Amino acid sequence: MSENNAEAGFTGASIPGFEQWAQQWAPHWAAQAQQAASSLSHGFGDAFKQLQAMQIAPEAWTQLQSDYVRQASELWNAAIGEAPARADAAAPAAAAIKDRRFADASWSENRLAHFTAQLYLLNARTLQRMAEQVQGDDKTRARVRFAVQQFIDAASPSNFLALNPEAQRRALNTQGESLARGLQLLMADVRRGHVSQTDESAFEVGRNVATTEGHVVFENELFQLLEYKPLTAKVHARPLLMVPPCINKYYILDLQPENSLIRYAVAQGHRTFVVSWRNPDADCVHWTWDDYIGRAAIPAIEVVREIAGTDTINTLGFCVGGTILATALAVLAARGEQPAASVTLLTTLIDFSSNGVLDLFIDESAVRLREMTLSDQAVNGPGLLHGQELATTFSFLRPNDLVWNYVVGNYLKGEAPPAFDLLYWNGDATNLPGPMYCWYLRHTYLQNDLRIPGRLTVCGERIDLGAIDAPVYIYGSREDHIVPWDAAYRSTQVFKGKKRFVLGASGHIAGVINPPEKKKRSHWLGKGTALPADPQQWLQAATEHPGSWWPDWSQWLAGHAGPLKAAPRAPGNRTYQAIEPAPGRYVKQRA
CATH code assigned at 545 = 3.40.50.1820
Q: Which of 172, 205, 227 is the last residue of a domain?
A: 172
DSSP 3-state of 306: helix
Q: Which of 172, 206, 224 is the last residue of a domain?
A: 172
Task: Classify residue 530 as exposed, middle or buried by CB count within 10 Å of its CB (0-12, 13-18, 19+).
Answer: exposed
CA angle at 454 for the pair 450 and 458, rounded to the nearest 5°: 65
d(CA 392, CA 221): 27
d(CA 115, CA 49): 23
C-alpha–C-alpha distance, residues 345 and 326, integer Å? 9
> What's the pTM?
0.88
Three-class DSSP category at 384: strand
Query: Alpha helices, DSSP H only, in 310-397?
Result: 320-334, 364-374, 387-395
Residues 238 and 154 in one domain: no
HEC secondary structure over 98-161: CCHHHCCHHHHHCHHHHHHHHHHHHHHHHHHHHHHHECCCHHHHHHHHHHHHHHHHHCCHHHCH
207 sits in the region (left: phi over 0; alpha: psi -120 to 50; else beta) called alpha
Distance CA 216, CA 195 (A): 33
* N- to C-terminal Cα separation, the chain: 53
Show the CA angle centred on residue 219, arms to residues 216 and 224, nearest 5°: 60
Give yes or no: residues 97 and 16 share one domain: yes
Pairing status of strand 240-243 against strand 272-277: parallel
Note whether residue 13 is domain-resident: yes
Buried b (16+ CB within 10 A) or exposed e, 161-187: eebbbbbbbbbeeeeeebbebbeebbe
Whether 189 maps to a domain, the answer reads: no
On whether residue 536 sits in a domain, the answer given is yes
Q: Domain check: are 13 and 109 in the same one?
A: yes
CB atoms within 10 A of CB 588: 15
Whether 420 maps to a domain, the answer reads no
Neighbours of 250 (CB within 10 A): 27
The answer on 218 and 166 residing in a single domain is no
Residues classed as catalytic: 319
Q: Are 523 and 545 in contact (CB under 8 A)?
A: yes
Give the pLDDT confidence score for residue 97 in this predicted structure.
Answer: 87
CB 398 within 8 Å of CB 459: no
Beta strands in 244-312 (DSSP E): 272-277
In a domain, 373, yes or no: no
Q: Which residues of 204-226 are buried (b: 16+ CB within 10 A; e: fewer)?
A: ebeeebbbbebbbbbbeebbbbb
- Is 253 a domain residue? yes
Answer positive or negative: Cα dihedral of 232, 233, 236, 238: positive
CB-side exposure of 330: number of CA atoms within 13 Å?
A: 29
Three-state DSSP class for residue 504:
strand
Question: Helices 138-154 and 111-133 meet at what angle, rounded to 10?
Answer: 170
Are 231 and 136 within one domain?
no
- Same structural domain, 132 and 250: no
On whether both 161 and 281 belong to a single domain, the answer is: no
Asked if 464 and 545 sit in the same domain, the reply is yes
Q: Choose the final residue of a domain: 172, 202, 223.
A: 172
| Residues 463, 544 share a domain | yes
Nearest Cα to Cα of residue 18 among 2, 35, 34 = 34
pLDDT per position in the chain (591 positions), as tens? 333 333 333 333 333 343 343 333 333 333 433 444 444 445 566 666 666 667 788 888 889 889 988 998 888 888 777 655 444 445 556 677 889 999 999 999 988 899 999 999 999 999 999 889 988 888 888 888 998 999 999 999 999 999 999 999 999 999 999 999 999 999 999 998 889 999 999 999 999 999 999 999 999 999 999 999 999 999 999 999 999 999 999 999 999 999 999 999 999 999 999 999 999 999 999 999 999 999 999 999 999 999 999 999 999 999 999 999 999 999 999 999 999 999 999 999 999 998 888 888 899 999 999 999 999 888 888 999 999 888 888 888 889 999 999 999 999 999 999 999 999 999 999 999 999 999 999 999 999 999 999 999 999 999 999 999 999 999 999 999 999 999 999 999 999 999 999 999 999 999 999 999 999 999 999 988 899 999 999 999 999 999 999 999 999 999 999 999 999 999 999 999 999 999 999 999 988
Q: What is the Cβ-side half-sphere exposure of residue 308, based on CA atoms within 13 angstroms? A: 30
What confidence score (pLDDT) does residue 7 get?
Answer: 31
pLDDT the model gives residue 89: 45
Residue 541 lies in a domain: yes
Of 218, 243, 384, whose CA–CA distance to 315 is shortest? 243
Verify that 137 and 238 share a domain, yes or no: no
Domain count for the chain? 2
Same-domain pairing of 464 and 523: yes
The C-alpha angle 288, 294, 300, rounded to 5 degrees, equals 125
Residue 26's domain comprises 3-85+93-172
- In this structure, the answer to whether residues 218 and 168 fall within a common structural domain is no
